[in-house]
Amino acid sequence: MNVLVVEKHEGEGAFPLFAKGTAVADVKACHQYAHWCSCVIDGHETYVPDAYVVDGALIRDYDPTELIAEKGQIVTLISIVFEWVYVKDGNGTEGWLPASKVISI
């Protein structure tokens, strides 16, 4: 399914792919997005869906990189996780966008 970016998104930089089982530390609830947490994964300060962490470790591979996207860009929806969507652009780059910044087309 394709979605249209309705508001530009800058992102917070690129992150590596963290493997299932990687330790997640300093987990704190995110007040802006329900079911998301700020945390430290392998020395990187980032955010993670709370459902991806069990007993202090990732239960799946996870890349927290946000997609840099322009208003009017069409991207392919891969998954929806609470208030965020994981998408792929026309160049094959994958990343997260706030769901509020896309609409279905």
Say if pTM beats, i.e. exceeds, 0.85.
Answer: yes
Percent of the chain with pLDDT strictly greater than 90: 97
State the average pLDDT over residues 80-103: 97
Report the pLDDT value the prediction gives residue 68, as an integer from 0 to 100: 97
Domain count, the chain: 2
Rounded CA gap, 53 and 64, in Å?
Answer: 13
Rounded CA Rg of the chain? 14
pLDDT band at 12 (very low <50, low <70, confident <90, very high): confident
Report the pLDDT value the prediction gives residue 105, as an integer from 0 to 100: 93
Answer whether 5's CB lies under 8 Å from 100's CB.
no
State the average pLDDT over residues 6-16: 94
In a domain, residue 19? The reply is no
CA angle 67, 72, 76 (to 5 degrees): 50
99 is in which domain, residue-wise? Answer: 2-12+65-104
Residue-averaged pLDDT of the chain: 97
In a domain, residue 76? The reply is yes
Q: Is 43 exposed, middle or buried (0-12, 13-18, 19+ CB in 10 A)?
A: exposed
